[in-house]
Amino acid sequence: MYKKSVMVVIGIFVLFSLVGLASMANSAKERGKANRSGKIAIIHVEGVILGGRGQSTVLFEQGGTDQVIKQIHEARDDKDVQAVVLRINSPGGSAAASQEVGEELKKLRAQGKVVVTSMGDVAASGGYWLAACTDKIYANPTTMTGSIGVYMPYANWEELYKKVGIYQEKIKSGPHKDIMSPERQMTQEEREIIQTMVNDIYNQFVDVVAEGRKMDKDQVRKLADGRIYTGNQGKQLGLVDELGNMYDAIDGAAQLAGIVGKPEIKELGKQTPWQMLFGPSEKISTLLEQFLFQKAQNQLSFGIPLEASPEKWQVK
C-alpha cells in the first residue's frame, strides 16, 4: 500500500513536470515567434535615380536601381519583415527607373507588407514618384520635395558651329533619327513629337500621385507644375502625411504593421568604402547643393527618361 502511494505521487510529479516543460517550450516558441514578427527593413534610395546596375569603383558606388529592387525582393522574401521604411535622399532622375522601382513597391504592399517613406534632405521628382507608391510619407519641415513634372533639355548650337566653322552631315535611315540634334533647329513636327512624349510621361506621373495620395487628378495637376515644396508646405497640400524624421517613420511603420514593442531593425544594402571612411554625411551634405545647382543650371532632366536624350547630355 505504501509503495503504491509513493508510485502515484511520483507519477503525478512526472506528469506535472512534463506539462510544465511543454508549456515552457510553447512559451519560448511564442516568444521567438513574436520577436521574429517585429522586424522592419530599411532601404535607402540616394542620389540620382538611374536604371541598371549603376557604376561601382573601389571608392564609389552610384546610380542603378537594380540594387534597390534586389533589396525590395529581400524584404519581400523575409517572412519576419512586416514593414519597410524607404529612406529617400534623391533629387529624382529617370522616369523609367522611378516607375520600375515604384511598381515593385506596389507589389510589396500587395503582399501585405507595410511601406513607409522617410524623406531626408531632398525627395523630389522621381524621389517623390517613389514616395507616392508607399503607404505613408514622413518629411522634415525643411525637406525639399515635389518637383512633379517632366522636361527634356534641348540646345541649339547651330550658330556657334557656324562661327567656329563646324559643319556636320548625317546619312539617316529615317527623317527623325537625329531628333533633338544640337546642330540644327528643331522642326515643328519634331517639337510636337517630343511634346507628346513629355505629356505622356507627365500624365503617368500625375496618375501615380493621384492614385498613391488618393487625390483628384485635377487637384494633382494644380500642384504638379514642376515647383518644389518644403516638407511643411507638402504637409499642408496633402503631398506629405506627417512631419518627422526617420525614427518617427519607423514608429509609424511599426504602428501600421501592428508590431508591439520595440521593432527589430534590418538595414539592407551596404555602405561604400568611401562612406565608411568619411561617413554618409559627406554625400548627403552635398546633395542639396547639387540639387539647387542643377535646378538653377537646368542641366538635370528631372523625371524624364535620360536614355531619350543624346548620350552627351546624360548625367553620369
Tell me the residue length of the chain.
316
Of 177, 222, 262, 270, which is the active-site residue? Answer: 177
CA-only gyration radius of the chain, Å: 27
**66 within 8 A of 52, measured Cβ to Cβ:** yes
**What distance in Å separates the CA atoms of residue 186 and residue 189, rounded to the nearest whole number?**
8
Of 90, 94, 98, 125, which is the active-site residue? Answer: 125
**What distance in Å separates the CA atoms of residue 242 and residue 139, rounded to the nearest whole number?**
7
**What distance in Å separates the CA atoms of residue 311 and residue 190, rounded to the nearest whole number?**
19
- What phi and psi values does residue 84 have, to the nearest 5 degrees? -130, 135
Q: Is 316 among the catalytic positions?
A: no
Cell numbers standing for residue 125:
521628382
Beta strands in 148-267, from DSSP E residues, in sequence order: 228-230, 242-243, 264-267
**What distance in Å separates the CA atoms of residue 248 and residue 120, rounded to the nearest whole number?**
12
- In Å, what is the CA distance from 200 to each residue of 53, 150, 194, 231, 301? 26, 10, 10, 27, 16
Apex 179 CA angle, 174 and 180, nearest 5: 170
Beta strands in the chain, from DSSP E residues, in sequence order: 39-46, 55-56, 61-62, 81-90, 114-124, 136-139, 144-146, 228-230, 242-243, 264-267
**283 within 8 A of 291, measured Cβ to Cβ:** no
**What distance in Å separates the CA atoms of residue 30 and residue 38, rounded to the nearest whole number?**
13
Q: Is 125 among the catalytic positions?
A: yes
**204 within 8 A of 99, measured Cβ to Cβ:** yes
Cell numbers standing for residue 207:
496618375
Cell numbers standing for residue 307:
536614355
Known catalytic residues? 125, 177
